[in-house]
Amino acid sequence: MVQSFHFTDYGMENYYYEIEVFVSTLGLHEPYTHIEQIADLDLRQARSKAIQRHNDIENGILANGKFHLPYASPADFVYGENAGYSITLSFVHTYGDVIEKYALAGVDDASHIEGLEFENYIFHELNEE
């Protein structure tokens, strides 16, 4: 088990995952935002749950069961006829009042790589404790 927290000289540090969903028709209707935190004492379990939840949300959006306009990619988007969405999966590190988010999916490649590198570093560090 990899604990999702540890104590340092700076106090307790916590780790969890966050999914942020944004759906918009780009002004035709009110946008929708949903933020969900996924935590577990075992960070590996939290990661697994977060990936599964991310995939479930995206599959639900693509199935178009929760919104009244069909989704389209930016290249195929037609104002008033389509909706757009984004889903970001982040690894979150908290200590004291500080909250740092590292995007793992749903962002540009550079941010994704940085997020994965930090997540791997933390898993390695926590696994050695």
Residue of 105, 88, 95 whose CA lies nearest to 35: 88
pLDDT digits (tens, 9 = 90+) for 70-109: 777 767 778 777 777 888 999 999 998 999 999 999 877 7
Give the confidence band of 114 by pLDDT, cuts at 50, 70, 90: very high
The answer to whether residues 43 and 4 touch, using CB atoms and an 8 Å cutoff, is yes
Fill in the amino acid letter for 73: S
Region 1-5 average pLDDT = 91
pTM flag (> 0.85): no
102: left (phi over 0), alpha (psi -120 to 50) or beta: beta
CA distance readout (Å), 117 to 9, 17, 85, 91, 98: 23, 15, 26, 11, 20
Please say if the pLDDT value at position 7 is more than 60. yes
Sketch the domain layout of the chain as residue ranges.
5-89
Residue whose token pair is 């749950």: 49
Greatest mean pLDDT among 22-26, 45-49, 121-125 lies in 45-49
CA distance 84 to 43: 31
Structure tokens of 94? 């908290």
Provide the pLDDT for residue 48: 97
Provide the pLDDT for residue 112: 87
Extended strands (E) in 61-129 = 84-95, 98-105
Provide the pLDDT for residue 89: 96
pLDDT digits (tens, 9 = 90+) for 39-60: 999 999 999 999 999 999 888 8
Region 35-40 average pLDDT = 97
Residue whose token pair is 């759906």: 23
CA distance 64 to 108: 25
